[in-house]
Structure 1
Amino acid sequence: MTDTVTDRKTKKLNVAIVGGGLVGSLEALYLAKKGHRVSLYEYREDIRKTPQVRGRSINLALSVRGRQALRDVGVEDHIINHHGIPMRGRMIHRPDGSTYEIPYDSRTNQCIYSVGRNYLNSILLKESEKYINMERHFNHKLSEADLSKGSLTFLKTETYEKVQVTADLVVGADGAFSAVRKALMKKPLFDFSQQYIEHGYLELFIPPGDDDGFQMPPNYLHIWPRGNFMMIALPNQDCSWTVTLFMPFKNFALIDTEEKLLTFFEKHFKDSISLFGEKRLIKDFFSTKPSPLVAIKCRPYHVSDKALIIGDAAHAVVPFYGQGMNAGFEDCTILDQLFTKHDDDLARILAEFSETRWRDTFAISDLAMYNYIEMRDLVTRPSYRLRKKIDDFLFWLMPELWVPLYNSVTFSTMPYSQCVKNRQWQDKVLRIAMMLFIFVLVCVVIAMKMS
């Protein structure tokens, strides 16, 4: 006999989540909170017991979409009040060392928060210990998967023992190079594309000052835009800065000696050298290689009523809009809403998620690509600053009608695809307004000459 709606409400699902990072840990909390039996599998050690791995960004920009998810599982207040550092705008560093501010939201003074990846992941894992219906399994690497049957085989990386798991639902939250997605790709009608950009990134470090305080104003995302490349800095809780240099790989390859490195920084980022300290800059730059950046688009995200991929496994994006984590967290929020809407009916939940979510994830992927051009180049142009002033004025004048693109993406939960449509509509309105202005101006000039 098939389950009735009442049966589904009382039945507790057995869920296996592959990937114990930020998105996997959050999804585990959502499902455990609903009373389902959750097993979280992570191929690495418990992140709470391991040092930060250099080369993987330790800073993330938390905005409204991510905050909503953290609020749902009860950890937002702790993160915002005891850990996150508010960033109220961009601080632009010119080549001559002078700076100017571009606020994110001059009307309501909203901000994004710099948060530590390890800390946030640790908080989510710690929160999960409150639920007796949730288990955590570290050092478990997925080796085989039959997603149609909800069957998984893990290899314990410490003992090389194989572990067989069968679940009502498999959730793949195992990152951009997802093993779950690899299994899903074997299914017919699965579309997949990935794009590596020609630019890589390399992380550097600005220590606290001699007084153990910040060496730069802390409540900003600092940007050194230089046309084809850029450097950014986000504040850390210990008053240090995580700095990321984004640049074409061919440019990185040209800097192969200490002298070339210092000459490069003297020319393009002169004001930063004293912040790093020459010895530290040289050490950090040559101690690792630049890492690649990949964007992934795929669909559908599910297999019948048995498996689903979320977060970077479903839609890895380049980091230039600061929405990678936020979009992954929003996946969890949307799934939670669908579980409620469809009374835990997995067939309907997974199908609706796949059918609706891809438009928004494709949209934020494209926006993130565009924002790199904006951050490294357009922010320095008078036309950009003029458009920003116009957007801010119209937003102040008509806050419900005219919401600038950045505000809609970062400070609202408006679907990403709708954010794009709004921007296209705004561009069209401004083009028409400009044409009317020119027409009226020409008419006035002609009238004045004829009078």
Structure 2
Amino acid sequence: MNASDNPAHILLVGAGLTGALLSIFLAKRGFRVSVYEKRPDPCLYPTEEGRSINLALSHRGIRALKQVGLDEYILQHALPMRGRLLHSQGQDDRYVPYGKDDSYYINSISRSRLNSLLIEEARRYPLITFYFEHVCEGVDFEKNTVFLRHKPTEAQVIAKADVIMGVDGAGSAVRKQMQAQHNFEQSVDFLEHGYKELTIPPTASGDFAIRPDALHIWPRKSFMLIALPNVDKSFTCTLFLANEGPVSFNSLQSTEAVEDFFDTHFADVKTLMPQLSSEFLKNPVGLLGTLRCNPWYRPYNALLLGDAAHAIVPFYGQGMNASFEDCLVLDQCIETYGRAWAKVFERFQQLRKPNTDAIAALAIENFYEMRDGVTEEAFLRMKQLEHQLENTYPDYRSKYSMVTFSPEMSYAEAQRLGNLQNEWLLAFCRQQTNLSTVNLEEVYRALKTAVPVA
């Protein structure tokens, strides 16, 4: 589809990561795109502090960026992480590679920086126009109309378009309007845990305080701390902790309580966080939930994408990657069906919903693995055995590799095959305490017999 003298007009509600990237995909298809966002322009104003979990950009997201020619540019602003570095109490730190060698890595990038980069690139397209500080207050799907309020002036704005797309996150205003439809289903499942953002600043000499090429995890059974590197040589840390209970965010309401908690559980990292108490008490507690809804569309004129349709918890580092993959798959559906929107939207949901349901489940599973599993010796032996298998047999891929480094494999298939492999390998490693005596060829053949690919 090429641009025409009178291109179809698509209105996006939301200029976050998904909305900014989607606008580029659509403009390259020749559509006129209007993007309305309730926040101020992130290219001009800093985002709210304390609510960001650093992003892990991996192959699925990179593939979508590559489709619009942005992969190399965006990766210049990211830092590679080649494995997990586990900081367990009373034990030596243990490094667990993500893939079979150093060519397999994920990329740490600031959410706010990435958002600004995508908006800056989108502005290069004459077909794209952004309207910031416009709050969506209603949608009339029958009349293809969105009702907005311009926050600085309180003026009411009425915007019309041929198609309306909600890319406005987990609290989507467009989805809330869709809920009035007959047979619209929605569920939101919150974890009992929340999260709080903290910071490890650069050292006095301006260097990284800890190893910069790894995702750091301090697993403590019922809670954990993680840290991801930034290009300014700081680390964005995130504490995941129960919201209520004797050891919870609710119990940490004073400087003394925060200091005691970190002295007890994270003494090694506490020394690297000079503003710990003030930052902890200032920053809000974020919610962790999984959103599922159905349908994602109205047949001829409206669609939900990204977190607006399928928000997930962040523990597989795939929320952004899944949303970017949405943009790519929608683009492929438009390539096939053109402006036959009913077919485009139907096919899009058929392709995506089983896979976003799968990554939602995988993300919750990985929360318990990161928090609890990495403290079990059998689990660590399993990771060691997986590493040996990946380096010896080209056709073997771990579950993590299937999800993160194999964009040609669907999330649903990665979940099915990966869980079967892990179940078999973990059972084996619970019985086999000394991997040096293991015949790797026998393990490989037994695993292949127990877990057929198809």
TM-score using structure 2 length: 0.90
Aligned-residue offset at 1:339: 0.7
Partner of 2:389: 394
Could you tell me which residue of structure 1 aligns to residue 44 of structure 2? 49
Aligned counterpart, 1:312:
307
Q: For residue 400 of structure 2, what is the aligned residue in structure 1?
A: 406
Superposition RMSD in Å: 2.3
Change (3 A) 1:330 1:27: same
1:257 maps to 254
1: CA distance, partners of 2:226 / 2:431: 40
Q: Report if the CA contact (8 A) 2:53-2:197 is conserved.
A: no
The DSSP-based 3-state class of the residue aligned with 2:332 is: helix
Match among 270, 274, 285 for residue 273 of structure 1 = 270
- State how far apart, in whole Å, the 1-side matches of 2:429 and 2:217 are: 31
Q: Are residues 1:417 and 2:412 paired?
A: yes
Find the counterpart in structure 2 of residue 119 from structure 1. 113
**1:32 and 2:14 aligned:** no
List aligned pairs for 1:142-161, cutoff 5 A. 142-161=136-155
Q: Could you tell me which amino acid in structure 1 is paired with residue 64 of structure 2?
A: A
For residue 97 of structure 1, report the CA deviation from its aligned partner.
7.2
Greater Rg over alpha carbons, structure: 1
Instruction: Tell me which amino acid in the other structure corresponds to 1:307.
Output: A
Query: Which residue of the partner structure matches residue 447 of structure 1?
Result: none
Structure 1 residue matching 2:152: 3-state secondary structure: coil
Change (3 A) 1:64 1:434: closer
Deviation at 1:427, TM superposition (A): 4.8
CA distance in 1, matches of 2:233, 2:366: 27
Q: Are residues 333 and 263 of structure 1, via their aligned partners in 2, closer, same or farther at CA, if it must alter by over 3 Å?
A: same
Structure 2 counterpart of 1:389, which letter?
Answer: Q
What CA distance in whole angstroms lies between the structure 1 residues aligned with 2:429 and 2:51? 45
Alpha-carbon distance in structure 1 between the residues aligned to 2:97 and 2:117 = 30
SS at structure 2 position matched to 1:50: coil
Asked whether the 8 Å contact 2:3–2:31 carries over to 1, the reply is no
Q: How does 1:328-339 map to 2 (within 5 A)?
A: 328-339=323-334
Match of residue 449 from structure 1: none
User: Tell me, what secondary structure is at the counterpart of 1:26?
Assistant: helix
Return the letter of the residue paired with 2:410: P
Aligned to 1:448: none
Q: Is the 8 A contact 1:214 1:239 kept in 2?
A: yes
- Tell me whether 1:299 sits opposite 2:294 in the alignment: yes
Question: Does 2:196 match 1:199?
Answer: no
The alpha carbon displacement at 1:71 in A equals 1.3
Q: After superposition, where does 1:350-429 map in structure 2 within 5 Å?
A: 350-400=345-395, 402-413=396-407, 414-427=409-422
Q: Is the 8 A contact 1:231 1:245 kept in 2?
A: yes
Amino acid at match of 1:234: L
What is the DSSP-based 3-state SS (H/G/I as helix, E as strand, rest coil) of the residue aligned with 1:276? coil
Using a 3 Å threshold, how does the CA distance of structure 1 residues 341 and 164 change in structure 2: closer, same or farther? same
Question: CA–CA distance in 2 between the matches of 1:97 and 1:264?
Answer: 19
Find the aligned partners of 2:69 and 2:123 in 1 and give their Cα distance: 13
SS at structure 1 position matched to 2:237? strand
Q: Which whole-Å deviations, capped at 9, do the CAs of 1:265-286 have from their partners, x for residues lacking one?
A: 1111010111012xx1111111
Match of residue 131 from structure 2: 137
Amino acid in structure 2 at the alignment position of 1:185 = Q
| Structure 2 contact 60–324 (Cα < 8 Å) conserved | yes
Match of 1:103 in 2: 97
Partner of 1:444: none
Specify which structure has the higher proportion of helix: 1
Larger mean Cα displacement after TM superposition, 414-423 or 8-17 = 8-17
Given that 2:34 and 2:130 are in contact with CA atoms closer than 8 Å, whether structure 1 keeps it comes out as yes
- 8 Å CA contact retained: 2:2, 2:29: no
Find the residue that maps to 1:283 and give its secondary structure: helix
Contact 1:196 1:295 in 2 (8 A): yes
Q: Is this contact kept in 1: 2:8–2:32, CA < 8 A? A: yes
Query: What SS is found at the alignment partner of 2:272?
Result: helix
**Runs of 5+ consecutive residues of structure 1 not aligned to the other structure:** 1-5, 438-451
Q: Taking every aligned residue pair, what percent have the same amino acid on both sides?
A: 39
- Return the offset for 1:357: 1.2
Pairs within 5 Å for 1:281-292: 281-292=276-287
- TM-score if structure 1 supplies the norm length? 0.90
Give CA deviations for 1:132-179 in whole Å, capped at 9, x if unaligned. 111111111111102243221111111121221221111100010000
User: Which segment drifts farther, 251-260 or 408-417?
Assistant: 251-260
C-alpha contact (below 8 Å) 1:170/1:307 kept by paired residues: yes
The 1:134/1:256 distance shift into structure 2, 3 A limit, reads: closer
Q: Give distance in 1, aligned partners of 2:312 and 2:162.
A: 29
**1: CA distance, partners of 2:46 / 2:428:** 55
Matches within 5 A, 1:75-114: 75-80=70-75, 82-96=76-90, 98-107=92-101, 109-114=103-108
Residue 160 of structure 2 aligns with which residue? 166
1:97–1:271 contact (8 Å) kept in structure 2: no
